[in-house]
Structure 1
Amino acid sequence: MTSQHEEIYQKSWQERQDFAERMQPIIGQLYRNFGVEVSVYGRPLVNASAIDIIKAHKSVGIHEESKLRLRESLPFLEALSKMDLHSANIDIGKLAYRYLFLGGANGLTVEQYLEKELAPLKEQGISQPRDVVLYGFGRIGRILARLLIDRTGPMANLRLRAIVIRPGKKGDLEKRASLLRRDSIHGAFNGSISVDEEQGVIRANGAYIKVIYAKSPAEIDYTEFGIENALVVDNTGIWTDEAGLGQHLESKGVSKVLLTAPAKGDIKNVVYGVNHNMIADDDTIISAASCTTNAITPTLKALNDEFGIKNGHVETVHSYTNDQNLIDNYHSKERRGRSAPLNMVITSTGAAKAVSKALPELHGKLTGNAIRVPTPNVSMAIMNLNLEKETTREQLNDYLRGVSLDSPLREQIDFTASTEIVSSDLVGSRFAGVVDSQATIVDGDRAVLYVWYDNEFGYSCQVIKVMNKMSGVNVLNLPRK
């Protein structure tokens, strides 16, 4: 016989599941038809399971004094579905909480309140969609493909039209599709993938992706495939300077190039959230910097803004990469020839110095090194910093927690207070970096911070944001602070 407490809990859980399942189709329609990405306190709900939606609502209690129940946020989601919207990131958790518990209602109905809070959308024009070509289809290329395919729909700002790879043997197309379909780290593709061998196309969730085989950009005329004014995202790492990347601009149908690696020379290295406003309309070649630079720069900016940074050292504990050897073999770089799954490998990183390209005020203040470790994904940056003023562990953590919730960097910086979190828990994190507050050490003006980052998925999410900016798309984050 079940107890009264058990019955109450089971009934409550069933109610939450019912509300979450009612939310799912609305979230999907807002995303596909209007380009609206719905979240709850920064936790994305697009393509989320009912359990994920429940967990996102539960997280509100970590940050606020009161809980936010699904039955309380559902009316806001339903009201959104009846509004005239276009591309935006809308946090229904914050909207609902402020309305219900922080006096946001002020005599307004939910509909009137949303009209007021989302008014900035009316001031923003709708941008034309941009054709996208992925040049290279390795780890970052395939994750970018997944993210772009997720956004396929009538209101998509970025349309994945083609991928470019080196000529392969018979069966190559199916193998490429298989690598997109199944991933040992990020799991199975969420949807349907098929191959049209005759047309040389991968079809995925409504996206019709031409596979172009070429040895160099000079061989390609994208207009032959109906591709115009394209943004080429170079994932190969072969070219990192203007002369090399400029080859893409010689191909017909290409107008801009984005490099997913640090660039050399005068090419702008952009960390979205920190210096993305330096991207000008007439820029044709941009770099999205490295995963580590993206992971550490937002947190460093936040700390420098509040406490000032005299100097410091950043040690990256980085998962092994495709550049290393599976077993001991010759490698042109020191130590990287030793077996990646069996060794911790000390190597160099330019991420600490690269920070100054996005954050000039830290020029010459940081040193850095890296240790490659036997994990396939998710890395950590340990930042040992000397600050301009003294603080405490509680003050520093409270400040970064606030930055992660309500600041222009809230899409870049996540914050965890878990005492049990480990690297595999961060696989799929969409943030540039996640501050592990339980590991923070502060002694007067000296601070040591630990920042996790999914060096594949989190970085790719940053790349997508740069792609939008280069394409003239300004995706608003609402509500504003």
Structure 2
Amino acid sequence: MTVNDDSFTNWKTREEIAESMIPIIGKLHREQDVTVLLHSRSLVNKSVVSILKTHRFARQIAGTELSVTETMPFLQALTTLDLGPSQIDIALLAETYRTDDRGLSVEEFTAEAVAGATGENKIERRESRDVVLYGFGRIGRLVARLLIEKAGSGNGLRLRAIVVRGGGDQDIVKRASLLRRDSIHGQFQGTITVDEANSKIIANGNEIKVIYSDDPTSVDYTAYGINNAILIDNTGKWRDRAGLSKHLRPGIAKVVLTAPGKGDVPNVVHGVNHDMIKPDDQILSCASCTTNAIVPPLKAMADEYGVLRGHVETIHSFTNDQNLLDNYHNSDRRGRSAPLNMVITETGAASAVAKALPDLKATITGSSIRVPVPDVSIAILSLQLGRETTREEVLDYLRDVSLTSPLKRQIDFTTAPDAVSSDFIGSRHASIVDAGPTKVEGDNAILYLWYDNEFGYSCQVIRVVQHVSGVEYPTYPAPAV
């Protein structure tokens, strides 16, 4: 395929190719439960411009822009294969093919690279797993959006109900409105209607029952046709095993907490220690947004360089537990106006590292400052390494981790010199390494890690839920270990 050198003609040609990708991507997703990725970013339900921008973004992490003219042949090759449920990264296919010197055709190379998802090797499409959201605040609504988005194939996870405290008139209408429009994350991608008579929200065809309860022990979920469900507690009201066990009612098989767990509740950071989850574990925590942001890059650095000690300083967006204006608060400083002040506060993320990385013997300390932005935070991770290195070596290593390692869904990488916090709203990664301010001198390294503490964290929660439900499908080509 030849492309005219004229910039506008070049753009129109790529636009036409991206447009032809959309029905192929959609059909693979609907009919075979295959999610097409580009550098770990899903292309399902994306627009023409979004597909082109995702290809262009590859320049920031791989050094060169990836063209749809390179990836389209691999996408077409996938349509000729008997694929089972999987995630397939066409950027990795294109890039590994570029360095392959065996003279294979695109079709032959693709068939070999995704062989684990074809023919007799492919896994069966699983029955959908019921999910209940207990609480419908900032994280609850974003998790709901993700669950609805991922229900497109008809398999996987199925949001059946949300449980909230009883409200006033038009309670369900107001909750649906908050799901439909979000001041930070924008409009819901789809349609939402309300069935007040039956206490249901219908989002993209998904019927979601709204259950009113002030006490988890009062609900029998089987009465709503819900069975063997995973309940996601977004309230943070109960954080130990005794409290969270109250959710184990008829119809609920497992409970996942979207806050740091206390006592013997396992704190899980997907990509790092999710494999420790036992089939009979009924109660899990997804730790905190900051823990999810720092643990994957900390593990990456410890694996390559060793870490002797470290300190994390989080510059964190304000949250709902702070006051808009000065008012009484149980915490010493959080009562002061969140939009007007920087507020020094505590973070449990550093101590939570020990639960997620028990083999890491280094002492990690931490503190936090809340600042007047509504979303996206940055963690400054200062480390004493086990050996001396250089800035260039560290950046090359972390760029490679973000592209090809088992942590590529957790760690992103940017070289954009003008990046600011709002640029990372909607990031699906647990953290994004900012190459520009990274500092390395001898055995000391300082990493700057952006993270969408709302949406990126919600994506990590969904990954944990997919894992425990058995609907986390394998990715091809397989990441390097």
- TM category (shorter chain) comes to over 0.9
- 2:175 corresponds to which residue? 176
Aligned counterparts of 1:184 and 1:61: Cα–Cα separation in 2: 30
- Select 1:111's aligned residue among 101, 107, 118: 107
- Select 2:443's aligned residue among 442, 445, 448: 445
Gaps of 5+ in 1: 1-5
RMSD: 1.8
Instruction: Render the CA deviation track for 1:109-135: whole Å, top value 9, x for unaligned.
Output: 433322211122225344332100011
Aligned counterparts of 1:108 and 1:388: Cα–Cα separation in 2: 42
- Select 1:92's aligned residue among 90, 93, 98: 90
Secondary structure, aligned partner of 2:256: strand
After superposing the two structures, state which structure 1 stretch, 147-156 or 353-362, moved more: 147-156
Kept after mapping to 2: 8 A contact 1:33/1:155: no
| Identical positions, percent | 56
- 2:164 corresponds to which residue? 165
- 1:339 corresponds to which residue? 337
Instruction: Render the CA deviation track for 1:9-35: whole Å, top value 9, x for unaligned.
Output: 111111111111111222223223333
Aligned counterparts of 2:174 and 2:270: Cα–Cα separation in 1: 33
Q: Which runs of 4+ in 1 moved over 6 A?
A: none
- 1:188 corresponds to which residue? 187
Q: Which amino acid aligns with 2:100?
A: G
Matches within 5 A, 1:66-465: 67-99=65-97, 101-103=98-100, 106-121=102-117, 122-249=121-248, 251-363=249-361, 365-465=363-463
- After TM superposition, give the deviation of residue 82 of structure 1 in Å: 4.1
Instruction: Render the CA deviation track for 1:321-380: whole Å, top value 9, x for unaligned.
Output: 000001000000110000000000000001011011000133561110000000000000
Closer, same or farther: CA 378–63 of 1 in aligned 2, 3 Å: closer
TM-score normalised by length of structure 2: 0.95
Instruction: Render the CA deviation track for 1:177-226: whole Å, top value 9, x for unaligned.
Output: 00000000000001100001111111111211111111111111111111
Secondary structure, aligned partner of 2:370: strand
Gaps of 5+ in 2: none
Kept after mapping to 2: 8 A contact 1:33/1:153: no
Aligned counterparts of 1:61 and 1:421: Cα–Cα separation in 2: 15
Aligned counterparts of 1:98 and 1:238: Cα–Cα separation in 2: 48
Q: Which amino acid aligns with 2:99?
A: L
Closer, same or farther: CA 387–66 of 1 in aligned 2, 3 Å: closer
Matched, 1:474 2:472: yes
Aligned counterparts of 2:33 and 2:125: Cα–Cα separation in 1: 11
Closer, same or farther: CA 123–11 of 1 in aligned 2, 3 Å: closer
TM-score normalised by length of structure 1: 0.95
Aligned length: 474
- 2:34 corresponds to which residue? 36
Instruction: Render the CA deviation track for 1:366-424: whole Å, top value 9, x for unaligned.
Output: 11000000000000000111111111111111111111111111110001111110000
Q: Which amino acid aligns with 1:102?
A: T
Kept after mapping to 1: 8 A contact 2:272/2:299: yes
Secondary structure, aligned partner of 1:265: coil
- After TM superposition, give the deviation of residue 64 of structure 1 in Å: 4.8
Kept after mapping to 1: 8 A contact 2:294/2:449: yes
- 1:3 corresponds to which residue? none
Kept after mapping to 2: 8 A contact 1:353/1:363: no
Secondary structure, aligned partner of 2:238: coil
Q: Which amino acid aligns with 2:383?
A: L
After superposing the two structures, state which structure 1 stretch, 422-431 or 67-76, moved more: 67-76
Kept after mapping to 1: 8 A contact 2:180/2:192: yes
Kept after mapping to 2: 8 A contact 1:35/1:151: no
Secondary structure, aligned partner of 1:357: helix
